[in-house]
Structure 1
Amino acid sequence: MDIQPRLAWPLRAELAEGPVWCPEESAFRFVDIKRGTLHRFEPATGSRETIEIGGAPSFILPARDGQFVVGTGHAIRSFDGHRLGEPLAVIEMPAHNRTNDATVDAAGRLWFGTMDDDERTCTGGLHSFANDQMENHGWRATVTNGPAFNRAGDALYHVDSGRRIVWRIEVRDGRPAPTGEIFLRLDESEGYPDGVTVDSEDCLWVALWDGWGLRRYAPDGSLMMEVGFPCARVTKVAFGGPELTTAFVTTARVGLGPQALEDQPEAGGLFIFEAPAPGRLMPAVHA
Structure 2
Amino acid sequence: MRPFAHIPTIGTPRVATGVPHFLGEGPTWDPVRGELLWVDIMAGDVYRGRFAYGGGIQIEERIAFPDTAGAVAISRAGEMVVAGTHRLYFRAVDGTVTAGPEVIGGDERRFNDGKPDPAGRFVVGTKGPTSEEQLVRFETDSRVTVLDDDLSLSNGLAWTRDGRLLYSVDTLTRRIFVRDYDPESGKAGARRLFSELPGDGYPDGITTDADDHLWVAVWGGGCVVRYSPAGEPVGRIDVPAPHVSCVTFAGPDLDTLVITTATENLTDEQLVQYPLAGLLFTIRPGVRGNHPHLWAGAASRLAPTSLEGTE
Fold shared per TM-score above 0.5: yes
| Structure with the higher fraction of residues in strand conformation | 1
Q: What residue in structure 1 maps to residue 102 of structure 2? A: 90
**Relative to 1, partners in 2 of residues 1:95 and 1:82: Cα closer, same or farther, differing over 3 Å?**
farther
CA contact (8 A) 2:10 2:285 kept: no
Structure 1 runs of 4+ aligned residues shifted over 6 Å read none
Mapping for residues 163-174 of structure 1, pairs under 5 Å: 163-172=173-182, 173-174=185-186
SS in structure 2 at match of 1:167: strand
| Alpha-carbon distance, 1:85 to partner | 2.1
CA contact (8 A) 1:113 1:147 kept: no
- Write the distance in 2 (CA, Å) between the matches of 1:42 and 1:249: 15
| Alpha-carbon distance, 1:59 to partner | 0.8
Does 1:16 pair with 2:24? yes
| Alpha-carbon distance, 1:223 to partner | 1.3
- Write the distance in 1 (CA, Å) between the matches of 2:44 and 2:62: 10
| Alpha-carbon distance, 1:80 to partner | 3.3
Pick the aligned partner of 1:101 from 113, 120, 128.
Answer: 113
Does 1:44 pair with 2:52? yes
| Alpha-carbon distance, 1:140 to partner | 2.0
CA contact (8 A) 1:37 1:54 kept: no
Mapping for residues 183-262 of structure 1, pairs under 5 Å: 183-189=194-200, 191-262=201-272
Q: What residue in structure 2 maps to residue 146 of structure 1? A: 156
TM-score, scaled to structure 2: 0.85
| Alpha-carbon distance, 1:81 to partner | 6.1
SS in structure 2 at match of 1:74: coil
Higher RCO, Cα 8 Å, sep 6+? 2
Query: Superposition RMSD on alpha carbons, in Å?
Result: 1.8
**Alignment-mate amino acid for residue 129 of structure 1:** F
**Relative to 1, partners in 2 of residues 1:157 and 1:139: Cα closer, same or farther, differing over 3 Å?**
farther
Pick the aligned partner of 2:125 from 105, 108, 113.
Answer: 113
SS in structure 1 at match of 2:42: coil
Q: Which deviations, in whole Å up to 9, do the C-alpha atoms of 1:252-277 show, x marking residues without a partner?
A: 00110100000010000010110221
**Relative to 1, partners in 2 of residues 1:82 and 1:233: Cα closer, same or farther, differing over 3 Å?**
farther
SS in structure 1 at match of 2:269: helix
Does 1:74 pair with 2:81? no
SS in structure 2 at match of 1:70: strand
| Alpha-carbon distance, 1:282 to partner | 1.7
**Relative to 1, partners in 2 of residues 1:124 and 1:187: Cα closer, same or farther, differing over 3 Å?**
same
- Write the distance in 1 (CA, Å) between the matches of 2:94 and 2:225: 34
How many residues are matched? Answer: 282
Q: Relative to structure 2, which stretch is displaced further, 164-173 or 43-52?
A: 43-52
**Alignment-mate amino acid for residue 5 of structure 1:** P
Q: What residue in structure 1 maps to residue 191 of structure 2? A: 180
Gaps of 5+ in 1: none
Q: What residue in structure 1 maps to residue 170 of structure 2? A: 160
Gaps of 5+ in 2: 1-8, 301-311
Q: Which deviations, in whole Å up to 9, do the C-alpha atoms of 1:164-212 show, x marking residues without a partner?
A: 00011122431323x32210101223x0000011111111000000011
Q: Which deviations, in whole Å up to 9, do the C-alpha atoms of 1:100-132 show, x marking residues without a partner?
A: 11122221111111111xxx3223111001212
| Alpha-carbon distance, 1:154 to partner | 2.0
SS in structure 1 at match of 2:11: coil
- Write the distance in 1 (CA, Å) between the matches of 2:202 and 2:228: 19
